[in-house]
Structure 1
Amino acid sequence: MLHTTIRGDEKLLMEAAKKADVDLVVVDARGLVLSPDVWQEKCDVVLERCVSTTIGMHAIAFFESLNIPVVNNLRVANICEDKFATSLALNKAHVPTIPFALAFDEVHAVQAIEGLGGYPVVLKPTGGSWGRLIAKINDQDALEAVIEQKMILGSPMHKALYFQKYIEKPGRDIRVTMVNGKVVCAIYREATHWVTNTARGAEAKPCPVDKDLEKISQAASRAVGGGVLGVDVFETDDGYVINEINHTVEFKNVQRVTGVDVAGEIISYCQEVLS
């Protein structure tokens, strides 16, 4: 198991591996030298759990080049770490998702917003997690201010202006935990703020999984290539829609409030990948 810090999730995985009598070697990826000319360590399957997307993506590519299976694989990681790529994959697979658009300057950002039906919209970086650096844009003045900040102070990634139509939620969203195309469990993430993320203070509560939720979650998993995923779902008057998909999914709150052994499911899946 590769990591860049041991969180509660990784501790649960270590406990689950011990219960399953799986020899789980825990490796801090920050200390690795990834060179095929000098690499000598033997492993059967790599479980990538790095908080750092940069380290994680390079590690996945390296181990796959050695024909070592990685959970999740590079194709899945490449799609899910990029919100625009995720939206494209969902749209291509005809999975209901939030209307979206990408622009690269203010003039075309206005056109993008018009195409989404006007204000309000949500502006996000194409990469990132925990609900960080996202903005609800209510009008032209707010758009100009945020774009100026991004263009002058932001990194190249922030100059890709990824917009989603703003969706009114019932004070919550749904996180569905998927393993190998199967819905393991789901939680509501409830908050008074429009950003419903547990990293931003949302409260996790168990969510029943009906047939429609199961169906759209499975379709979303197929669209990006499967594996171990956290699928974020919004409830709308027209049914469920997919917001984002996470490929290095955090699950400690999910396991805590549902009682489902998510860590055990992940370890079992790694064994299936190996076999």
Structure 2
Amino acid sequence: MAIPSTPGLRVAIMTDEIGWHTRQLQRALRERGGVGRCIDLADCDIDTDAAWHGLVLPGYGRELPDAVIVRGVAGGSFEQVTKRLGVLHALQALGVPVYNDARAIERSVDKSMTSLLLRAARLPAPPTWATESLAQARRIVMRESAAGHAVVMKPLFGSQGKGLRLIGQVDGVFQPLADFAPGDGRLAYLQRFVPPIGASGQPGHDWRVLVIGGRAVAAMRRVSAHWVHNVAQGARCEPAELTPALARLAEAAAAALQMDYAGVDLMPAAGRETIQVLEVNGVAAWRGLQKVTPFNIARALVDDLIDRKLATSLAARCDRQPAPVAAPARRA
């Protein structure tokens, strides 16, 4: 059921940064008759005495938004992040469509959970390990190195290619795993390195595929001389054909994490026929992808939120409403 126009629709855009992406979403919402208000989840509180729903959302008083788009969740202490995700869980439980919802955010932000779900769905991905034991982590690196593999050590919670380290067998030289740094939280998340593939003498690449509402809609090649291919780390965006193979794999990865929309990172694998899934991003940026995509991505996201997610929510509410009680028959 598509909703042609949504006059008065109020959408909370949960974000810790206001910029290009939020402006794009606000414009797309205005084109559908709605209004997008940017809110930092850090500024949202729980007050069970303030309103019937127990939440305090800046700009909404005692009311709730009609829908929520999650654009960013700021890092913080375990308690802070738990409270912020708790607000999203509460909104969903109160019947407010959340895009992506808290469970999807949790599945994608926690890279170890992403790896487990991809494995459970039998999707091709590099072997991955997560351990709190430094000795075990070093054994994994030694074993992989003996087999000729390098290993990428990633922050369990991280994005945009920040904090990645290449260890093990790197260009014929063994790079050992150092002691856990304080910022690592005494945890090693390790993934077998998939060397980038490029034409002879050319930089390697990977693919970013955008999935919206269960369907792959756009793709690009991220090209870089460095082994990290994130746009934020200087990779070049190039148009890419959205082949059936790329689309099927990206859609399956998004489905495995039960996501409304996702940026799926895929890597060609040398010596294998199967493309590898590297990451699934639940709060995916799309500025680079927009440069090589003919349609407006923010509008596609807003259309999916309104025409699918919000419409489904409205239909579910109608189904839950009790049937009207028939008036008693009047006696003659």
Q: Normalising by the residue count of structure 1, what TM-score does the alignment of the two structures yield?
A: 0.90
**Superposition map of 1:88-107 within 5 A:** 88-107=116-135
Q: CA deviation at 1:149?
A: 4.4
Pairing 1:190-201 to 2, within 5 Å after superposition: 190-201=223-234
Residues 205-214 or 41-50, more deviating: 41-50
Could you tell me which of 113, 120, 139 is aligned with 1:111? 139
**Is residue 243 from structure 1 mapped to residue 243 from structure 2 by the alignment?**
no
Q: Which residue, 119, 132, 136 being the options, matches 2:162?
A: 132
Q: Deviations over 1:36-87 (max 9, x none)?
A: 4323222221111125153753432232243322111122111100111101
Larger radius of gyration: 2
Look up the SS of the partner of 2:263 in the other structure.
Answer: strand
Aligned length: 269
Q: 58, 67, 74: which one pairs with 1:52?
A: 74
Match status 1:260 vs 2:289: no
Aligned residue for 1:210? Answer: 243
Contact 2:208 2:266 (8 Å CA) reproduced: yes
Q: 5+ residue gaps in structure 2?
A: 1-12, 56-61, 76-80, 198-203, 312-332
Q: TM-score, normalised by structure 2?
A: 0.75
Taking a change above 3 Å as real, the CA distance of residues 161 and 45 of structure 1, as seen in their structure-2 partners, is same
Q: What one-letter code is carried by the residue in structure 2 that aligns with 1:57?
A: L
Q: Which residue of the partner structure matches residue 8 of structure 2?
A: none
Matched, 1:13 2:25: yes
Give distance in 2, aligned partners of 1:56 and 1:174: 31
User: Alpha carbons of 1:274 and 1:28: their partners in 2 closer, same or farther (altered >3 Å)?
Assistant: same
Amino acid at match of 2:188: L
Q: Comparing 66-75 with 242-251, which one deviates more in the overlay? A: 66-75
| Offset, 1:118 | 5.1
The 1:113/1:200 distance shift into structure 2, 3 A limit, reads same
Q: Does 1:35 align with 2:40?
A: no
CA–CA distance in structure 2, aligned partners of residues 149 and 141 of structure 1: 18
Aligned match of 1:274? 310
Q: Is the CA contact (8 Å cut-off) linking 1:100 and 1:165 kept in structure 2?
A: yes
CA contact (8 A) 1:2 1:27 kept: yes
Match of 1:163 in 2: 190
Between 1:58-67 and 1:100-109, the stretch displaced more is 58-67
Q: CA deviation at 1:269?
A: 1.5
SS at match of 1:138: strand
Measured in 2, the distance between the counterparts of 1:203 and 1:58 equals 37
Indicate the structure whose relative CO is greater, using CA pairs within 8 Å and at least 6 residues apart.
1
Q: CA shift at 1:141, angstroms?
A: 6.5
Q: Is the 8 A contact 1:5 1:51 kept in 2?
A: no
CA contact (8 A) 2:265 2:279 kept: yes
1:115 is displaced (CA, Å) by: 5.5
The residue type paired with residue 181 of structure 1 is G
Residues 137-148 of structure 1 mapped to structure 2, 5 A cutoff:
137-139=167-169, 142-145=175-178, 148=179
1:77-107 deviations in Å (ceiling 9; x for gaps)? 1110011110100000001111111222332
> CA, structure 1 residues 259+102, in 2 after alignment: closer, same or farther (shift >3 Å)?
same
3-state secondary structure, aligned to 1:59 = helix
Task: Indicate if the aligned counterparts of 1:184 and 1:262 stay in contact, CA closer than 8 A.
Answer: no
Which residue does the alignment assign to 2:103?
Answer: 75
Cα distance, 1:182 vs structure 2: 0.6
1:12–1:252 CA contact under 8 A, matched in 2: no
Q: Is the 8 A contact 2:263 2:281 kept in 1?
A: yes
Provide the C-alpha distance between the structure 2 equivalents of 1:269 and 1:243, rounded to a whole number of angstroms. 25
| Alignment map for 1:179-198 (pairs within 5 Å) | 179-198=212-231
Within 1, Cα distance between the matches of 2:98 and 2:191?
31
Percent of counterpart pairs with the same letter?
A: 25
Gaps of 5+ in 1: none
Change (3 A) 1:260 1:36: farther
SS at match of 1:274: helix
Query: For residues 27 and 210 of structure 1, do their structure 2 counterparts lie closer, same or farther at Cα, with a shift above 3 Å needed?
Result: same
Deviates more, 1:58-67 or 1:254-263: 58-67
